[in-house]
C-alpha cells in the first residue's frame, strides 16, 4: 500500500460498541469511511444491537453517508446449517433494521474456522457458501462479498463460491497477493484488507493501529494502493449500487 486509503471498522455485538460510538466514528472524517456490522450468526438474527447500529450508521445520522461514508452488513456463516436459510436470516435482519439504502456495501459472508465443525470438508464449505451466495443474488440482484482467509486456504478452496468480491484478513504490513490469487481473486476483485485492530505494529506504514472509538477493533483497508484517497472512495461508490456478476 503506497497511498492512504479509506478505512472501515467491522463490528459484532460482542465488541461492546454502542450506536453512539458508531455515530462518533461516522463524524470523525477521512480516512474513516465506514462500518460493517455482523447482522446474523448462523440462523440467529443480530437483534436490537444490529438494528440500532445500522441506523446510527445510515443517512439520517451520518452527513457523508453515500459519498464519503458507507455501511455494510455481514453474516457469520455456519457450515453445518443451511446456506440459503442463513441468507434469508441475514436479509431479514437488514429488513427489520430498516432495509438497504444508497450507501450500503454488498452483503458480506464471513466464513472462518471459529466455531465450525472440526471435520468440515472443503466440499461442505463450498456447498453452504455457494447456497448462501445464490440466495443473496436471487433476492438482491447482487453477489455477496466473501470474508475468508486461512480457513478456506487451508481447506484448499480456490472457488469464489458465488461471491463477487473478497474481504481478506491478514495481519502483516504487506498484503500477500500470492495467497489472494490462490483463493481465486485478484487486485480487481479484492475490496478490503482486514489488517489491524489490536494495537499491534503490523499496520502498513502510515496507517493507524487503533480506531477513534477504542482499541482491539478490527480495521479494514480499501484495496486500491494505486489511487489517492478520494479516487479510491469514488471507485468504492461503484460497488454500492450496481449489480455485480
Higher pLDDT: 199 or 40? It is 40
The H or E element containing residue 84 is: helix 83-96
Q: Output DSSP code: residue 144.
A: P
Domain boundaries of the chain, sorted by first residue: 7-235
Handedness of CA 3, 64, 108, 245 (dihedral sign): negative
Fold (topology level) of 7-235? TIM Barrel (3.20.20)
Going by pLDDT thresholds of 50, 70 and 90, the confidence category of residue 104 is very high
Residue-level pLDDT at 242: 46
Q: Tell me the pTM.
A: 0.93
* pLDDT tens per residue, range 24-63: 999 999 899 999 999 999 999 989 999 999 999 998 899 9
Going by pLDDT thresholds of 50, 70 and 90, the confidence category of residue 96 is very high
Q: Please measure the distance between the N-terminal and C-terminal CA atoms of the chain and give it in whole angstroms.
A: 27
Amino acid at each position: 500500500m503506497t497511498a492512504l486509503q479509506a478505512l472501515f471498522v467491522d463490528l459484532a455485538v460482542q465488541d461492546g460498541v454502542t450506536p453512539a460510538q458508531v455515530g462518533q466514528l461516522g463524524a470523525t472524517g477521512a480516512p474513516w469511511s465506514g462500518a460493517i456490522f455482523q447482522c446474523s450468526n448462523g440462523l440467529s438474527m443480530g437483534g436490537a444491537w444490529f438494528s440500532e447500529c445500522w441506523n446510527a450508521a445510515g443517512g439520517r445520522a451520518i452527513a457523508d453517508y453515500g459519498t464519503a461514508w458507507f455501511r455494510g452488513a455481514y453474516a457469520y456463516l455456519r457450515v453445518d446449517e443451511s446456506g440459503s436459510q442463513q441468507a434469508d436470516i441475514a436479509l431479514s435482519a437488514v429488513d427489520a433494521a430498516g432495509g438497504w439504502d444508497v450507501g450500503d456495501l454488498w452483503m458480506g459472508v464471513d466464513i472462518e474456522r471459529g466455531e465450525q465443525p472440526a471435520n468440515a470438508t472443503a466440499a461442505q464449505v463450498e456447498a453452504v457458501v455457494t447456497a448462501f451466495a445464490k440466495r443473496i443474488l436471487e433476492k438482491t440482484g447482487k453477489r455477496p462479498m466473501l470474508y475468508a482467509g486461512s480457513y478456506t486456504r487451508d481447506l484448499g478452496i480456490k472457488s469464489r463460491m458465488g461471491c463477487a468480491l473478497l474481504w481478506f484478513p491478514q495481519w502483516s504490513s504487506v498484503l500477500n497477493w500470492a495467497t489472494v490469487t490462490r483463493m481465486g481473486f485478484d487486485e480487481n476483485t479484492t475490496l478490503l484488507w482486514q489488517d489491524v485492530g489490536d494495537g499491534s505494529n503490523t499496520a502498513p506504514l502510515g496507517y493507524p493501529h487503533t480506531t477513534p472509538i477504542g482499541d482491539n477493533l478490527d480495521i479494514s483497508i480499501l484495496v486500491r494502493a494505486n489511487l489517492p484517497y478520494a479516487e479510491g472512495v469514488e471507485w468504492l461508490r461503484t460497488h454500492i449500487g450496481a449489480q455485480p456478476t
